[in-house]
Amino acid sequence: MGVAAQRYWTEVGQHHSGAETTLTNLNRLCNYFGNTMRLDQISDDDVAKLVAWRRAQTARGRKLVRDPQNPKKRIAPPTIAAATVNRSTIEPLQKLFNRAARVWRIPLKNEPDWRKHLLKEPSERVREVRAAEEGAVREAVRRDFLPLVCFARAAGLRLSECLLRKDSVDLAGGRIRTIGKGGKLIDHPITFEMRAILMSEMANPTDYVFTYAAARAKPGKEGHARGARKPITASGLKTMWRRAKNRGGGPSIPADLRFHDLRHDFATKLLRETKNLKLVQKALHHSKIETTTKYAHVLDEEVLAGMEAASRRRLGTSET
């Protein structure tokens, strides 16, 4: 397990757009099974126990969280979602097996039946940022994180794709070129809104576009001064987003609004504006149009308008 995880990380994992998450998942598997556990010894029973163990955990291991209905009260947190269990245990373990069998040519005769262990996930929810929520979201987000949040809404990119290196941005050519989901190369156009945000953020002294101001000084050779600009990371952004929800006083991000919903918001509004599902597919860099059809509900109002127009023509009336 330890050797396989290290080799997978070196050959594949470190190049993922979400490399930080990949490393966390690999470390979790090594800690659970032990570095000396052989892949060909991992059975369906072992995987079932792994899933049960992970399924019982809570987000960030917390024992108590703030009650969304009463911020002064602490309650037991919910366990992690089925999708999180699948993405953080079964899928990375299956990728290790696939790499070992198909690339390293290591025979694994008793490979687990992965489909039996995948938990059923609810249909993906499509959530927009409502007009009444716009101001609260902007006010709740930390000032030094706000440019990144605004960029995510304008670009429609995934979180990991928004954490751009400066050399990924071609302002002259009007393109962003970075690594997306599954190691896919993303070639994304830059709109006037995105350009304004990028130009305002590129002057920082790091190799990354979006940075935050360090709240405290860190001593030592690798340290930094208070207020130094540091690259925003996926975990740092998630922490900021979580803290901005359900604050006891002042503006807060709606409890059911996830950062990924900014991408849904972008897609929904783009489809409503263009009525072109193929265009939205390209803007989101979906490989299959079927993935984009989850936004097709936006066109329901167009269907109704068309039906009404057809009825008026059939009845020979122009009534509305």
Give the active site residues: 158, 181, 260, 263, 286, 295
Query: Which tokens is 136 given?
Result: 């609260």
How many whole angstroms separate alpha carbon 54 and alpha carbon 4? 21
Diameter over CA atoms, the chain: 81
152: alpha, beta or left? (left if phi > 0; alpha if psi -120 to 50): alpha
- Helix (H, G, I), strand (E, B), or coil: what is residue 218? strand
* Separation between Cα atoms, residue 112 and residue 102, nearest integer Å: 15
Q: Which of 100, 90, 117, 79 is nearest to 32 (CA)?
A: 90
The DSSP output letter for 176 is: E
b/e sequence 75-111, b meaning 16+ C-beta within 10 Å? eebeebeeebbbebbbebbbbbbebbeeeeeeebeeb
In the numeric block, which tokens belong to residue 67? Answer: 């009650």
Contact 147, 210 (CB under 8 A): yes
Whole-angstrom distance, CA of residue 304 vs CA of residue 306 = 5
